[in-house]
């Protein structure tokens, strides 16, 4: 389990209120975390494998996305999240 540095691919939303971030990381394992530093509170997140396009399970807490999908080893991941 590691706290990974994400790459922000896209930013959307107003300066105040709900904002959207599309982030990625090239090598994610089960239980790795991605801290979305540009947001302070995540409201929702959807994660996908970039190699197959399949959705994967994740949880959110404050501004952290934790990949909970079993069997993940060095998988490229794309996460779309909303927050403030």
- CB of 23 within 8 A of CB of 8? yes
Give the chain's domains with CATH numbers: 3-83 (2.60.40)
pTM over 0.75: yes
Lowest mean pLDDT, pick from 5-14, 24-33, 50-59, 71-80: 5-14
Handedness of CA 1, 11, 53, 7 (dihedral sign): negative
Q: What is the pLDDT of residues 45-64, one digit of tens each?
A: 999 999 999 999 999 999 99
The alpha-carbon radius of gyration of the chain (Å, integer) is 12
Question: Rounded to whole angstroms, what are the CA distances from 46 to 15, 20, 36?
Answer: 22, 12, 13
pLDDT exceeds 90 at position 75: yes
Residue 20 token pair = 């959207």
Total length of the chain: 84
């Amino acid at each position: 389990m590691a706290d990974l540095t994400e790459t922000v691919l896209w930013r959307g939303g107003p300066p105040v209120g709900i904002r959207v971030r599309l982030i990625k990381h090239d090598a994610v394992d089960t239980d790795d975390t991605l801290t979305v530093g540009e947001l302070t509170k995540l409201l929702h997140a959807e994660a996908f494998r970039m190699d197959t396009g399949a959705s994967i399970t994740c949880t959110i807490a404050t501004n952290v996305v934790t990949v909970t999908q079993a069997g993940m080893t060095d998988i490229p991941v794309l996460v779309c999240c909303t927050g403030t």
